[in-house]
Each structure stands twice: as C-alpha cells, then as structure tokens.
Amino acid sequence: MSQNLIAVCISVLFAVFVRWSVSLNSYSGAGIGPMFGDFEAQRHWMEITHHLPLKEWYFNTSGNDLMYWGLDYPPLTAYHSKICGYIAHLINPEWVALKDSRGTETYEHKLFMRYTVLLADLLVYVSAVLVYCYITVKDKTPLSRVLAATVLLVYPGLVLIDHGHFQYNCVSLGFALWAVIGLATDHDLLGSIAFVLALNYKQMELYHALPFFCYLLGKCLRSEKENWLWKLIKIGTVVIATFILCWLPFVSDVQVAQQVLNRLFPVARGVFEDKVSNFWCTISIIIKLKSKFSADTMLAMTLVSTLTALIPSSVHLLIRPTINNFKLALVNSSLIFFLFSYQVHEKSILIAALPVCLLLLEKPFFCLWFLLMSTFSMLPLLIKDGLFIPYLVTMALFLMLVTYTFAWKAWELELFTQPPNIKYSDSIFTFNTAAFLQAWFYVSMAEIFLLSLLPVVKAPPSRFPDLWPVIISAFCCVHFLGFLVYFHLEQFLSSFPPKSIEAKKNA
C-alpha cells in the first residue's frame, strides 16, 4: 500500500473518529416530549414513507399528522427516508411502527440512526472532499492535499449539526460539492446533474442556484469548442430530465405536486423563527418587524432586498465566468440569502460555509475566521441540544489544525497580497489594514470565547430570558455583513492581478 493511500486512510479514519465522538453525545430533542426534536423528525419520516403510499407523504391524513413533524423537504429526502425506514423495519419493526414508534429512544435505535448519517456522510460528502482536494487543488504535494482534506472534513459546524444535533446536511452539501467538482473539471453536464440532486434533497440549495446558472450561462456564451446555443440546450435538457426523474412519482397528479411545493415553501411560518444571525432578526431588536408588518409584506421586503443584493455578484460572474469567481459567488449568494431572505434557520449558515471551506486553502485567514464564526452562531442551538463540550473541543481542534496546516506567515502574506490590501500613509499617521484585521481577529476570537462561556455560567436576567441568544445573533450578524463585503471585494478585484509585496513597499 502506497504512503499516499495510507495517509488518505488515516485522514478518513480521523474524520470518522471525530464524527463518532460527537455522536456519543446528546441530540436534538433527546427525552423532551411530546415533539422531541430533529432526531425524531428524521425517524418519523422513515416511519411514514415506509408505511404510507407515496401520495400521502405530504398530506394530512389519518396516518400522517402534518402537525407532528410533517415532511417538508423535497423528494430525494423522502426517498432516502424510505430506504432507511425499510432497513430499520428489517432490523426491528418497532423502530418505525406507524404511530406507535413516536419518541423511540432505545440504544440500538440511536446506534442505527447514527450509522445512517455516518454512512451517508462517507458516501457523499467525505468522498467529494477527497476528490476535490486531489483533483482541483493544484501545485500541492500529496501530503498537503491530505492535510487540506483533513481540515475540511473536521469543520465543526457540519460535524456538530449532522452527528450531534442530527440531520443529513452532508448529503445535500456533498452533492453540491460534487457539482462544483464537475464544473471545475469541465464536466458541466455531470456537475449540473449533481446540483439538481442537491436541490432536490434540500430546497435551501436554492442559495447556490444563481451562481450555478450564471456560471454555466456565461461559460456557454464564451464557448469556443462548440456552438454556445447547443451547449446551453444540452445543459438545460439534462437539468430538466433530472428534475423530472426526481419528481416523476409526484407529477402525475397536479394536486400532489402542488402540495409538495406548499410544504417546501411554508410562507405562513414568518420571516424567521428562533434567533438567527441574519439582518431581519437583528434589526428586530430595535424594530419589531413581526408586529409592524404582515407576512405578505415581509415576504415582499425580503424578496426585493435579496434579489437586489444578488445582482452585482451575479452579473460579474456572468461576465467573467471563472472557477475562482464561481466559488466566491457561491459564498456571496448563500450569505445574501442567509442574511436577507425569508424563513431562515440558524443551520442555513452551513450552506454558505461549504464554499468558504473550498476557499480555505487559498484564503485561510478570512475563511478560518468565517468558519469559526459560523459555528459560534449556532451556539444557542448546540447548548439546547447538550453539545456545549463537543462544541468547545471541535472548535479548538479545527483552529489548531488550520494554524498547523497554514502557517502564520502564509496568513500575513494573504493579507498583504490579496484584496483588501489598502495601506494609508502620510506625515500625520499610518494605517495598516493587515495589522488592523489581525488585531480584529484576535479580539473577535476572545469575544467568541467569552460569549461561549456566558450562557453556561450565568443565567440571563428574568426580564430578558433570550438575552444571550440575541447578543450572539447580533454579534455574528455584524461579522457576516463584514464578510459579505470582503468576499464581494475578493470577487470583483480577482480580475486584477495583485501587486507584489515589493511593489507595495515601493508604492
């Protein structure tokens, strides 16, 4: 066995060890009836998809109470749940017994559920990370690629939510990563298929949809190998065909298809639910939006603000469809959706974190900062799930791995050679942007540490029971707005080659 293969195996085993260690802790809704949490939601979907006919999966019937974790994800999630439910029924029918299995929390069942996430993670997401690091990462030694893959695989946000809180984000994000790989290697049709699969597993992948559209359209318009229209027709045909295959059991009945769409986009829930680090939740601290505006008005406001904010990045990508601009546009688009769109959950920050992970190899300073902040933004949810200790450990582990893999000298070089690289100087004062940003980073990390401890060592005032989540969400929102500006600058200025350090010194 070659040394490279051994290194890959060690990397994957380490990633599995971290995931399994987190999975030994609590999960969403553990022992808290009558609704329990996301763990029970995923189990319940296995129950209803195994026992009920397909046309009842999204409808309120005698066997399917939509008020009890009604299925609200696209068809691929339902098919995945059905496969898991079938296997669960073979092992122990009591795990998915219709109605009678609600709240099942036996040791054997929890072990089975954890294994389903781990297997899905290995098959879809972990494999995609390895391929990405080995195929698309250029000018790196094999060891450097293994280290890069290891760092990406232990991003604490995804590990804590999927293997702690309990969800299958690894599937939709894994398909999205396979789509990025397809486009980066000029396999546009395969990449398009992978993205349609991601979108049909979780509708939140719409956060990434516009960059995929603009990149492929821009690439078609500049195609020199074949007629641009023919290439566009091929991509469109593949996308439509994949959608039809995913929805085929539902589209035969218009009423059923319409009900699925109603479940996927629940406008009645409001602009946000729990405290989330986006613009609308943060501004609600000052202006109570839910009491001042109707749901329809808020929907219109979020739609206009989101689409308006998306225009600059999307137009730039359409004009300059490069892979680097594409990855940056993925960050910008998903961040804009998270900050300004309607019905945002705290876990949706993982959609923005995926492309940031891909940029971590090139821009470690800002991307590490963002990834730590994104995990911290979910802290109230993680504390609620009993995952505070795993949160601290995985955050520290990730920080150490990144600082080991990317030396501080490389971080300093990034600050001086990549936008924004502004340096103001005159006879009165000198302002060095790089030094300021490094100082801000240290202060931000100290604040994260202190704010992480605050909710577990001191109870909030009785008058303000949500004080700590509000402070955390507002703190993170300010940072996310700053990151949005930074990544837009990166995208717009990436078309211009950065000046060398010597040139900067002589300027």
**Rounded-to-integer distance, Cα 376 and Cα 383, Å:** 11
For residue 48, what are the CA distances in angstroms to 5, 54, 84, 95?
42, 9, 11, 12
**Rounded-to-integer distance, Cα 410 and Cα 408, Å:** 5
**Rounded-to-integer distance, Cα 398 and Cα 160, Å:** 12
**Rounded-to-integer distance, Cα 331 and Cα 326, Å:** 9
Whose structure tokens read 């005698």? Answer: 62
Whether the Cβ atoms of residue 362 and residue 352 lie closer than 8 Å to each other: no
User: Quick one: tokens of 192?
Assistant: 């398009």
**Rounded-to-integer distance, Cα 250 and Cα 347, Å:** 28
CA–CA–CA angle 332, 335, 336 (5° rounding) = 85
In the prediction, which pLDDT does 193 show? 98
User: Quick one: tokens of 385?
Assistant: 């799930």
Q: Is the dihedral of CA 375, 290, 260, 209 positive or negative?
A: negative
**Rounded-to-integer distance, Cα 469 and Cα 455, Å:** 8
* Conformation bin of residue 61: beta by default, left when phi > 0, alpha when psi is -120 to 50: beta
Helix ranges restricted to H, 341-498? 349-359, 364-376, 379-384, 388-405, 408-417, 433-457, 467-493
In the prediction, which pLDDT does 413 show? 57
For residue 64, what are the CA distances in angstroms to 53, 59, 166, 216, 253?
11, 7, 22, 41, 19
Rounded to 10 deg, the angle between the 349-359 and 364-376 helix axes is 160
**Rounded-to-integer distance, Cα 23 and Cα 17, Å:** 10
**Rounded-to-integer distance, Cα 200 and Cα 244, Å:** 11
Q: What share of the chain is helix, strand, coil (3-state, %, to 5)?
A: 75, 0, 25
In the prediction, which pLDDT does 202 show? 96
In the prediction, which pLDDT does 409 show? 57
DSSP 204: G
399 Cβ neighbours under 8 A, 6+ residues apart: 368, 372
Burial 89-112 (b: 16+ CB within 10 A, else e): beeeeebbeeeebbebbeeebbeb
Backbone angles phi, psi at 80, to 5 degrees: -60, -45
User: Quick one: tokens of 255?
Assistant: 């009423």
**Three-state DSSP class for residue 431:** strand
In the prediction, which pLDDT does 1 show? 57
Helix (H) or strand (E) holding 281: helix 279-283
**What count of other Cβ atoms lies within 10 Å of the Cβ of residue 432?**
15
What is the full per-residue pLDDT of the chain (507 aa) written as tens digits?
577 888 899 999 999 999 999 999 999 999 998 999 999 999 999 999 999 999 999 999 999 999 999 999 999 999 999 999 999 999 999 999 999 999 999 999 999 999 999 999 999 999 999 999 988 777 677 788 888 899 999 999 999 999 999 999 999 999 999 999 999 999 999 999 999 999 999 999 999 999 999 999 999 998 877 788 899 999 999 999 999 999 999 988 899 999 999 999 877 666 776 789 999 999 988 888 877 888 788 889 999 999 999 999 999 999 999 999 999 999 999 999 999 998 889 999 999 999 999 999 888 999 999 999 999 999 999 999 999 999 999 999 999 999 888 765 556 556 655 544 444 444 444 557 777 888 899 999 999 999 999 999 999 999 999 999 999 999 999 999 999 999 999 999 876 654 433 344 444
Maximum Cα interatomic distance, the chain, rounded to a whole number of Å: 79
**Three-state DSSP class for residue 461:** coil
Whose structure tokens read 């605050």? Answer: 454
In the prediction, which pLDDT does 428 show? 44
User: Quick one: tokens of 213?
Assistant: 């559209």
| DSSP per-residue codes, 479-500 | HHHHHHHHHHHHHHHTTSPPPP
R_g (Cα) of the chain, nearest Å: 23
Whose structure tokens read 């507002």? Answer: 474
**What count of other Cβ atoms lies within 10 Å of the Cβ of residue 236?**
13
